[in-house]
Structure 1
Amino acid sequence: GAGGAARGGGAAGSPVLGGENRHFRRDWSTANDIGHKAAARSFADIAAMGAVPTALLLGFATPGDLAVDWVDGLMAGLREECGEVGAAIVGGDVTAAEVITLGVTALGDLQGRAPVTLSGARPGDLVAVAGKLGWAAAGFAVLGRGFRSPVQVVAAHRRPEPPYAEGPRAAELGATSMTDVSDGLVADLGHIAEASGVRIDLRADLLTVPVKLREVGAALNVDPLVWLLTGGDDYALAASFPKNASLPDTWTVIGAVAAGEGVRVDGRRWPGAGHEHFR
C-alpha cells in the first residue's frame, strides 16, 4: 500500500526491500523480471500519492559468487521499467551479503498538486479500483503447484503492469484517498479505513472475475474471488472519490465509504485479508 512522503512538490515512496526467497525466487523469475517488478512496486507507491515517477534510488547487496550476467539482467529490468515511466536510476550502492537483497526507493513529481494520502476518505465517498486484481495471486498459486502455465497469470506474477498514469489522473479527479494494492485489496483498503477513521463496504458483485482466473480457479479448486480480494503484487490502485465524481472507464466502482471501521465484503468481514509473500 501507499506509505511515502511528500515535500516541496516532490514525493518519495517508502523504501522497498526485496529479499531472495521472500520477495522473489530465482527459479520462478528471471533477473530481468525481478528488476521490472522491484521498480514497478516502487513506482506504484508514487502513483498512489498522485505523483508522476521521476527517479529510482537503488541499493543492492549480493553474494560474491553471483553471476555477473544475473546482475546485468536485473539492472536491465530496472532500466526498462524506468523507461516505461520516463524515470532515471540515480545513485546505487552495492555491498556484500549472504543472500541477494535489493533496496529501491522511488521519487516522483506531484506537479503542483497536494499529495493524495490514506487519511482523506469520508462517508459517502465512492470506492474504485484501476488496474488488475488477482492475476499475480493466481500466478503465484500456479507456480506454487509446480506449473508454468497459463502464461498470462504466471507473467502477471513475474512482471506486473501497474496503471501508473491513473494515480495522477485520480488526483485530478478529486480522489480523497488512494493506495496501491501490494498487500491485497481488503488489507490495503483497511489501511485507508484505519487512517481515515471510516468503514469501507465492498460489493462482490461489482468485482468482475476474469474468465481466465475462473478457469485457473476451477483447475486449482480455488474461489478466484479470494485472489481479487486478498492477492497482492498486481499493484492496482484503489481510491475513494466524492460520490458525484465522474470516473473514466479505467476506474471501476467497487463499493462505498461509510461511518464505522474496517472493511466489509457484502456486509461481512473478510477472513485472512493479507497477502504473504513466500512465508
Structure 2
Amino acid sequence: MRTTSILLLALSAAVLISCENQQKIPDAGMGYGTPISEDATPSQTATTSTTAQASTANSANNTDNPKTKTTLPPLQSIDAKTLLPIKKIVGSFAYTKNNDPTRTLNFTSEPTRNGFIQTIDGLRRVYLEWDTQGNLVLKRDDDFKENVRVMYTPGIIVVPVKLEQNEPNITSKSRVQVFNLSDGHPRAAGTINSQLIAIWQSRIETNAGPFDAYIIREKRSLDLDIAQVDLTLDTAYSPGNGEILQMEWRTQKTLDLFIDNTKAKLLREK
C-alpha cells in the first residue's frame, strides 16, 4: 500500500494534499516544480507537473520555461543554517485529503535554543535540533491525529551541514520509541535507518508565490515491533525561508495489532 502526500509550507500560505492512488516515485530532479540549474539531477529539460502545481492558483508562472535562471548559489557554497532562518514564522496551512473540503490550519515555526519547533495546529508538531557537526536532525514527532509521540535517538539527519554533492549518500541509524501522546504509555520500539540520497534545485510554486529551492531526498526504513515501513521523503528548502514543500511516498510492509494484550498479525501488504 502506497500513500502519497504533499506538504507545502510557505511564509503566508501552505497546502497539504493527500491521496491514496498508486504513484511511481519520480526520478530526482523531475518530480515537481521547474528545474532551474545546470546541476539538476538527472535532466533539467523535462517538463514537470504535479498535483501540488495543479492545486495552486498561481502555478502558471514560470512553469513553461524549464531553464529558468536560478537565483540560488551552487551547492558547494550552501550549508544547513543558510537554508533555515533563525526567526519565528507564522502562516496558514490548507489541508486537503482526496476530495474532502480543504481545512485551513495555523502553522508556526519557532526557533529554540538549539533548533526549531514546527507546529501545524491539530495535526502534528516536530522538534528539530542542530547536532555537534552542524547537521539539522529530527528528534521528536508528535502526531495529534494518531495520539503518538515518536522519539529518535540520536536524531535523524534531515539537512546535512554542507549541501556539497548531488548524491550525498549520508546515512544514519537511530533508535525509535513510540509513546501515547496523552499519557506517555509506551506503544512500540525499534530502529530506523535513514539515507540522504539526492539534492537538486527547482522552482516551487506555492500559494505565497514561487520559491527557488534546494530539494533533499531521503529514504527511511523503519523497523518496529508492530510495523515495518519504507519511506521516501522529498523536502524543499528555500534559503532564508526554510521548508516550503514536503512530498512523501510510504510503503507499509507488515502490521501487527495488539488487542487485549493479544498480538494478531494482519495479512502482509505490498
Superposition TM-score, scaled by structure 2 size: 0.25
Q: Which structure exhibits the higher relative contact order, with contacts defined as CA atoms closer than 8 Å and separated by 6 or more residues?
A: 1
Superposition TM-score, scaled by structure 1 size: 0.24
